[in-house]
Homo-oligomer: A and B are copies of this chain.
Amino acid sequence: MTTEEVAKKVVELVRKQAWHEALDTLYDKEIVSVEATAPESRGKEAVRGKIDWWVNAMEVHSFKASEPFVAHDRFVVQYDADVTEKESKQRRQISEIGVYTVKDGTIVREEFLPRV
């Protein structure tokens, strides 16, 4: 798949919150995943752990993904989520950018940048 094809597939799956399908079909086994406030995660199982944490911790009221921006081996998607953290009952709006790097048709790196 081209970078644009991977980007469109990510957006399609994220809009369905089909996190596991995205991981299983689009991610490289050596994926490096970087959050603003956590150490780097490496490998599919680490990303699976993040997905499981998210699904268990959050009640998701809405999750929006922008159309992708694409050039060369990179694409960017903006996410806007409205969630309640189940434990604290705290509701909050998350606005974040995902910057993805594609190699040989799979995602090898993802970085998430919150709005400041």
Contacts and interface: CB of A to CB of B under 8 A. Distances in A.
Interface of A: 4, 7-8, 34-36, 67-72, 74-76, 78, 95-97, 99, 111-116
Contacts of A34: 71-72
Contact of A70 (B71, B75, B95, B114): B114
B78 A112 contact: no
Contacts of A8: 116
A65 B106 CA distance: 30
A68 B116 contact: yes
What is the copy number of this chain in the assembly? Answer: 2
Contacts of A99: 74, 76, 99
B4 A69 contact: no
Contacts of A96: 69
Given A78-B78, A97-B76, A69 B7 contact: no
A114 B71 contact: yes
Given A74-B99, A99-B76, A115 B69 contact: yes
Nearest to A8: B116
